[in-house]
Amino acid sequence: MLAERPKSARMRAMELIDIGCNLTHDSFDKDRALVLERAREAGVVQMIVTGASDEGSRAALKLAQAHPGQLFATAGVHPHHAIDYTDETDVLLRELITHREVVAVGETGLDYFRDFSPRDVQRAVFQRQLQIGIDSGLPLFLHMREAHDDFFAILKETRGQLSDVVVHCFTGNREELHGYLDMDCHIGITGWICDERRGTHMKDFLKDIPAERLLIETDAPYLKPRNLRPKIKSHRNEPRTLPWILGTLAAVRDEHPQVLAKCTTDNARRFFRIPALN
């Protein structure tokens, strides 16, 4: 099996795409340009900036427009903010997705772990955003935590009308994974697999994900890999840690990091319909 801790020099030769990073988060306000520079130096050549609220989706588009070709955006409302979803929100999201920099609808889904919005409201708002995906034909960027049964049932009802779907930051069990794969979903893997407290169970079945359905992400500023070497003093995660996640995933799947890097990068460009950098 390949070593689980990749050498940084080997990783820098690869081109990677971070399919989910919250670069509009206020923790990046003081050094966002440096964060992007460090990402490029680490081989993370393109990033999808997550939109998770009205304001956040506007900001994600604005940031992507400031970095053409390098950054792209999603437009959606996270289940935490579902209580704030209005008819005006629906109109806004439908307007935002007309911009070429917006490459997916979301982040949307269900989160029963935090329950920041009532569950019935979460379900209704999830369905409204799935309808935007149906109407637009754009890919869907989905969130699920501790809500598998309802999430799966709602998605299954509309899956045949949707284009590509990624269950981002997958943290579930083997049965859940195969349920999503059977629905032709892509799977997003984060630094959760680098956490010995809660991510080790996934290592038993990550090989089950077909190569063409696999995507990688940091979910920065969250989920900094706990096994990162050398350590970064800040608790904040950044896109520059994506090579480490890739290396851990390659070790678990018993694949060469360069092969997996090309695979996930090709998948991301195909999924989000984005061109390679010139």
The per-residue DSSP string of 64-89 comes to HHHSTTTEEEEE---GGGGGG--HHH
Is the residue at 1 inside a domain? no
Residue 9 pLDDT level (bands cut at 50, 70, 90): very low
**Is 180:205 a contact under the CB 8 Å cutoff?**
no
Residue 49 forms beta bridges with which residues? 21, 73
Is the residue at 3 inside a domain? no
Residue 216 forms beta bridges with which residues? 189
Q: What is the pLDDT of residues 39-96, one digit of tens each?
A: 999 999 999 999 999 999 999 999 999 999 999 999 999 999 999 999 999 999 999 9
**Is 254:2 a contact under the CB 8 Å cutoff?**
yes
Structure tokens at 225: 């890999």
CA distance 44 to 17: 6
CA distance 127 to 140: 12
pLDDT value for 229: 82
Number of domains in the chain: 1
pLDDT value for 13: 65
Could you say which DSSP state residue 163 is in?
Answer: -
Could you say which DSSP state residue 149 is in?
Answer: H
Give me the chain's average pLDDT, please: 94
Q: How far is CA 157 from CA 8, 151, 171, 202, 215, in A?
A: 44, 10, 22, 27, 24
Residue 3 pLDDT level (bands cut at 50, 70, 90): very low
Average pLDDT of the residues in 153-178: 97
How many percent of the chain have pLDDT more than 90?
Answer: 88
Q: Report residue 208: phi and psi, to 5°.
A: -70, -20
Check whether 208 has a pLDDT greater than 70.
yes
pLDDT value for 222: 96
Helix/strand/coil for 107: strand
Q: What is the pLDDT of residues 230-277, one digit of tens each?
A: 878 788 999 999 999 999 999 999 999 999 999 999 999 999 999 998
Is the residue at 195 inside a domain? yes
State the burial class of residue 114 (Cβ atoms within 10 Å of its Cβ: 0-12, 13-18, 19+). Answer: exposed
pLDDT value for 233: 79
Any idea what the CATH number is for the domain that residue 17 is in? 3.20.20.140
CA distance 246 to 263: 11
Residue 7 pLDDT level (bands cut at 50, 70, 90): very low
As a residue count, the chain comes to 278
State the burial class of residue 165 (Cβ atoms within 10 Å of its Cβ: 0-12, 13-18, 19+). Answer: buried
Is the residue at 124 inside a domain? yes
pLDDT value for 11: 46
Q: What is the 3-state secondary structure (H, E, C) of 210-244?
A: CHHHEEECCCCCCCCCCCCCCCCCCCCCCHHHHHH
Domain containing 220: what range?
8-272
Q: How far is CA 215 from CA 123, 188, 210, in A?
A: 25, 5, 11
Residue 187 forms beta bridges with which residues? 167, 214
Residue 102 forms beta bridges with which residues? 73
